[in-house]
Amino acid sequence: MNGDERRMKRYWLVKSEPSVYSFDRLVEEKRTVWDGIRSYEARNNLREMAKGDLLLFYHSNEGKAVVGVASVARAAYPDPTDDAWSVIDVEAVGRLKEPVTLTAIKAHPKLKEMAVAKKSRLSVTPVLPEEYERVVAEGGGLVPAKRPRAEARGQAGAGRTKPAPKPGGPRRATGR
């Protein structure tokens, strides 16, 4: 057993503008590269992540709410466009039954100290285990992410877990 296997699961919050990359798109694609991080603090947070860590998926600018949960499918590795930066691979886990808005987070006595409420421009932030559990509870629990229909039927696209990278395509991170 290596150090990563003994490590306790950690929790994070990642932000994306839904018009750039929505949680629905992640569910549809099943897995993606989380790129576009250009803040040293956010990059360092990415580098702290390990496979299996859970991510609260937050829609920024439009909606301003946690809408789902993803997991780290591959720990940080060099960004193919610039190896000074890092990317991770993420997979959809489930959708919250109800979004948990930033207003609700700021108003909740057990959530108001979350980094998303204090450092609103940071796109990747750590989350305490009790904050993660509270956000999921406030959202009414998780509805498991469904696979795309073609994959579920074993038709075209089955087995494809990672979309081909698109040069100059949309960046996921929004904020610093």
Domain ranges within the chain, ordered by starting residue = 3-141
Q: Across residues 73-99, what is the average pLDDT?
A: 97
Report in angstroms the alpha-carbon separations of 168 from 20, 37, 90, 139: 13, 14, 19, 34
pLDDT tier at 163, thresholds 50, 70, 90: very low
H helix runs in 72-128, sequence order: 102-107, 115-118
- Residue 169, SS3 per DSSP: coil
Return d(Cα 96, Cα 123) in angstroms, integer: 20
Is domain 3-141 given the CATH code 3.10.590.10 in the classification? Answer: yes
Model pTM? 0.82
pLDDT tier at 121, thresholds 50, 70, 90: confident
Contact status, residue 95 vs residue 139, Cβ threshold 8 Å: no
Contacts of 53 (CB under 8 A, 6+ apart): 9, 10, 11, 12, 71, 72
Token pair listed for 98: 């109800």
Q: What is the distance, to the nearest Å, from the Cα of residue 90 to the centroid of all Cα atoms in its chain?
A: 7
Nearest to 59 by CA among 90, 102, 91: 102
Indicate the helix (H) or strand (E) that contains 143: strand 142-144
For residues 3 and 156, the model is more confident at 3
pLDDT tier at 156, thresholds 50, 70, 90: very low
Nearest to 58 by CA among 104, 107, 110, 10: 104
Token pair listed for 166: 């698109």
